[in-house]
Each structure stands twice: as structure tokens, then as C-alpha cells.
Amino acid sequence: MHPLLARLAGLVDLAGLGAWARACGLAEVRCAACGRPCDGHPATPSGAPESPSHAPALCPACALALAPRRGGICPRCGAPHALPTLPDAPCVHCLASPPPWAAFRMHGLYEGALRHLVLRVKFSEDHAAARLLGGLLATACADLPRPDGVVPVPLHPERLRRRGCNQCLELARLPAAALGAPLRPGWLTRVTPTRPQTGLSRQERRRNLRGAFTAHPDVRGRRILLVDDICTTGTTLARAVDCLLRAGAVAVDCAVAARTPAHPGRQG
């Protein structure tokens, strides 16, 4: 393809003309996950509803690799059971200590192609990957009640300056649009510059996040959808949900792009 046509297709894509250029064969279509050329038709992971025409395209291999986890999980926290063919059932941790959120949705497990996609969004400011992952998350949230606001798990301002963007905010855009709900990043603020949670034990995670969040008064009387990229032990979500509920939210649903596989700590 002529370089000028390629540049033009990229510039007009947001207006919908990029899709027209691809359909006419003026622009090469590449898989949004692996970058290899594909057939030019938007693809969806196996089991997901058909994508709109403007959705990122996936090659068949990536569509299969990014298929959602459809069974064999705890419906309260997403903890996977031994086999995906097992029926959904609460895990022992949620039976003993139910998490504070009303509903939990996820796309899949934090491994393989999904892990790679999450890391692209988290550390590379990859907007195409964020759009793809946000679409997968929107599909996972399709059966939730319409919230009064969609709230991304916030970064502390200091970390936000270093990273450049909040990946959870980018992921929350498509679920908010799909549910017809406003995006409300100001409804939850991280006020403590906590350490990264990676590598911390369950007890260390809880101590690390003590007093980390504050909620805006506007959450009172609202139903909220809280969006995060990864759930490991559920400590971050639980602290954020508790903060929102104490501020008067009537219910908080949680949605995460990826849930880590079996973890030695609490799986909620």
C-alpha cells in the first residue's frame, strides 16, 4: 500500500473512514493482538458476541487465545477451579468471608495472550491494545445492571505522573459506553502513595492499602461499577469498595480484565 494512503487511513480512522479504507483494500488490516496481517474482518474471542464493524480485528489464532473464561470459576471473586468444565461455585474463601462487592465480572485468567495484552496496556500506553481489552471487558459486563457511574481504580498522582496514564481509566471507557453510563474517575481518589502490590503477601497487601482511598460525596445513593485491570487477591478491590460503601454508595459491582490463577493468599 502506498505510504500516503496508509497515513491517511490512520488519520481518519476515528471518523470511521479507516474502516472504509480497509474494506476497499486501501489499508492493510493487522491483528490488534499479534500485529500479523489478517483477513480484514473484525473478529471476537470464541463465545463473545459479534463485534461492531469498527472493533479491532483479531486473527483466528488470537481470537482463540483470547477466548473468555466461561466456566469453572468462583462467581464471587473469579478464582478458577481446577478445570474450566466444572460448574461455577463459590470458593471456600468467599464462603467463609464474602467479598463486599455486589457482582464480579472478568474476561479471563492472567496468563498467555491475555497477560501479554494487559501488560501492553499497563506499561506501554498502547491505545490499540487498550481499545481491544476494553471491548473484551465491555462484553463481560454486558449483563450487569446499568450503573450510575463507572469508576476506574485510581493511581496516586505521583505514580500517574511517572506512568503518564491510568490504564484502568482507559479500560473503563468502553464498558461505560456499552452500559450507557457516565465515566466518573473523580469519584474515587488514591490519597496514599502505596507500594506496588506485586510480591506482597495477603497481610502486606492489606497493610499497604490501609487508608489508601477516599470517595467523593457524589457516590452517595449511587450504584457503581469499579474497573481494574488485574485481580490477584482482591485486596485492592475490597479496600476501594469498602471506601465507596462507607461514603454512601448503595452497591458496587467489580469488573477486571484478568484474574490471576490459583494464589496462595485469599482468592477474593
- Per-residue pLDDT reduced to its tens digit, 151-186: 999 998 888 888 888 999 999 999 999 999 999 999
Residue-level pLDDT at 97: 93
Question: 35 Cβ partners below 8 Å, 6+ apart?
Answer: none
Asked if the structure places residue 61 within a domain, the reply is yes
Asked if the structure places residue 58 within a domain, the reply is yes
Residue-level pLDDT at 207: 55
**How does the average pLDDT of the chain come out, rounded?**
82
Asked if the structure places residue 210 within a domain, the reply is yes
Q: Tell me the pairing of strands 188-190 and 213-215.
A: antiparallel
Residue 221 and residue 183 share a domain: yes
- Return the CATH number at 107: 3.40.50
Q: How far is CA 177 from CA 80, 123, 150, in A?
A: 29, 24, 10
Residue-level pLDDT at 13: 44
User: Model pTM?
Assistant: 0.80
Please, what are the averages of pLDDT over each run of 10 residues along the chain (268 residues)? 44 45 61 83 47 66 94 95 93 94 98 96 88 95 97 90 89 96 97 62 56 92 97 92 97 97 49
Residue-level pLDDT at 111: 96
What's the number of domains the chain is made of? 2
Q: What is the phi/psi pair of residue 86, to 5°? A: -70, 150
Residue-level pLDDT at 6: 47
Total H helices, total E strands in the chain: 10, 6
Q: Tell me the pairing of strands 188-190 and 149-152.
A: unpaired
Residue 235 and residue 162 share a domain: yes
CA angle (254, 181, 51) in 5-degree steps: 80
Asked if the structure places residue 201 within a domain, the reply is yes
C-alpha cell at 77: 471473586
CA angle (7, 10, 13) in 5-degree steps: 145
Residue-level pLDDT at 5: 42
Residue 52 and residue 144 share a domain: no
Residue-level pLDDT at 118: 96
CB atoms within 10 A of CB 106: 25
Residue-level pLDDT at 28: 74
Asked if the structure places residue 57 within a domain, the reply is yes
Residue-level pLDDT at 125: 78
Asked if the structure places residue 79 within a domain, the reply is no
Residue 57 and residue 97 share a domain: no
| Domain span at 223 | 92-259
CB atoms within 10 A of CB 260: 18
Residue-level pLDDT at 155: 92
Residue 237 and residue 123 share a domain: yes
Q: How far is CA 38 from CA 53, 58, 61, 84, in A?
A: 15, 7, 10, 29
Residue 235 and residue 118 share a domain: yes
